[in-house]
């Protein structure tokens, strides 16, 4: 095998479930794989490392060096045909790392699972949604990490070291309906700023985990199985109003909340910020009408924004080899 083409998903992360730890587990969460944006990576065997990307070159090389430490290989040539925007709520770090790792895994026939690859490249230390989204696609719920023996802090993956991805509790195919992704141009929360918020604002109150679990078990999951998009949207709206999601929204500044308010007032069933945002996933009856109106609204914001239509990915990343 000398040539591999990898097309990743993006992941939407709707909420962490437990940042308290009273029951001996932390993190947990639920989210969805979507078709676009994605990384399209062409990989070929080589005798050295050659990465053709303007934005992700340093991060890609770092991932390749991580892999070489555990599974030595002579080299690889990577060409990026499309890329996920960085620090927007799409899980670009996990999709980049797994896309590259899978390319190496396939080219050099190491026979590793996606979960094994994730641990080698240090992904899944907080949420397992991105890893599972790459593997299988769909709507995913993960069960978090044992606390404190497996994970002793509330910090994000980038700051916790070698922690395996959490167990996946369930995975459902998501209805194949159009989803609107709205991205107002506002702050980006990552790195030291993200770590500091986790350090200073965790643990969260125990009632937050209880309420989120109640919404997930008796509102979101039944609505998903019954394809009740109205109820699913109402649940997303509720999640934006309390707990850690409020921390994530408030950290971005007023534009994100203004956009959420606009979407709800304009007839959306629901709108949920993915991770730290600014990407918002919108469920509505007439997505195409709402997209046109939202484009006009975004022009009224101080720094504008973008929006586009995508849909769920229920298969995970695609791999074509020759």
Reply yes or no on whether the pLDDT at 31 is more than 90. yes
For residue 155, the model assigns a pLDDT of 85
Confidence label for 322 from pLDDT (cuts 50, 70 and 90): confident
Q: What is the mean pLDDT of residues 199-227?
A: 97
Of 168, 112, 134, 123, the C-alpha closest to 314 is: 134
CA 107 to chain centre: 26
Q: Look over the chain and give the mean of its residue pLDDT values, rounded to a whole number.
A: 96
pLDDT digits (tens, 9 = 90+) for 154-165: 988 777 767 889
Buried b (16+ CB within 10 A) or exposed e, 217-237: eebbbebbeeeebebbbbbbb
For residue 156, the model assigns a pLDDT of 82
What does pTM read for this prediction? Answer: 0.96
Strand partners, 31: 13, 140
For residue 159, the model assigns a pLDDT of 74
3-state SS class at 32:
strand
Q: What is the mean pLDDT of residues 112-119?
A: 95
For residue 54, the model assigns a pLDDT of 80
Is-contact 22 202, C-beta < 8 A?
no
Q: What is the DSSP string of 140-202?
A: EEE--EETTTT--S---GGGT-S-PPPPEEEEEPPP---EEEEEE------HHHHHHHHHHH-
Of 63, 72, 11, the C-alpha closest to 37 is: 11
Confidence label for 173 from pLDDT (cuts 50, 70 and 90): very high
């Amino acid at each position: 095998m000398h040539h591999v083409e990898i097309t990743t998903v993006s992941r939407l992360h709707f909420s962490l479930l437990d940042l308290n730890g009273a029951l001996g587990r932390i993190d947990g969460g639920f989210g969805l794989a979507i078709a676009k944006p994605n990384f399209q990576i062409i990989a070929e065997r080589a005798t050295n490392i050659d990465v053709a990307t303007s934005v992700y070159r340093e991060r890609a090389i770092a991932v390749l060096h991580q892999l070489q430490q555990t599974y030595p290989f002579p080299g690889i040539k990577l060409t990026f045909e499309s890329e996920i925007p960085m620090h927007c709520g799409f899980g670009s770090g996990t999709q980049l790392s797994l896309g590259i790792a899978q390319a190496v895994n396939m080219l050099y026939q190491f026979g590793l699972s996606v979960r094994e690859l994730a641990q080698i490249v240090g992904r899944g230390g907080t949420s397992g949604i991105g890893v599972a989204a790459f593997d299988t696609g769909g709507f995913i719920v993960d069960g978090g990490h044992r606390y404190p023996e497996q994970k002793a802090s509330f910090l994000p993956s980038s700051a916790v070291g070698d922690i395996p991805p959490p167990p996946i509790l369930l995975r459902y195919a998501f209805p194949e309906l159009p989803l609107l992704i709205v991205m107002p141009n506002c702050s980006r929360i990552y790195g030291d700023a993200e770590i500091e918020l986790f350090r200073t604002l965790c643990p969260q109150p125990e009632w937050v985990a209880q309420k989120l679990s109640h919404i997930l078990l008796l509102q979101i999951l039944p609505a998903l199985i019954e394809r009740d998009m109205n109820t699913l949207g109402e649940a997303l709206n509720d999640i934006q109003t309390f707990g850690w999601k409020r921390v994530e929204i408030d950290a971005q500044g007023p534009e994100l909340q203004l956009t959420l308010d606009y979407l709800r007032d304009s007839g959306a069933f629901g709108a949920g910020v993915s991770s730290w945002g600014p990407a918002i996933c919108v469920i509505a009856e007439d997505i195409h009408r709402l997209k046109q109106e939202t484009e006009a609204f975004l022009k009224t914001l101080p720094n504008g924004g973008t929006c586009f239509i995508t849909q769920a990915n229920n298969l995970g990343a695609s791999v074509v080899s020759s």
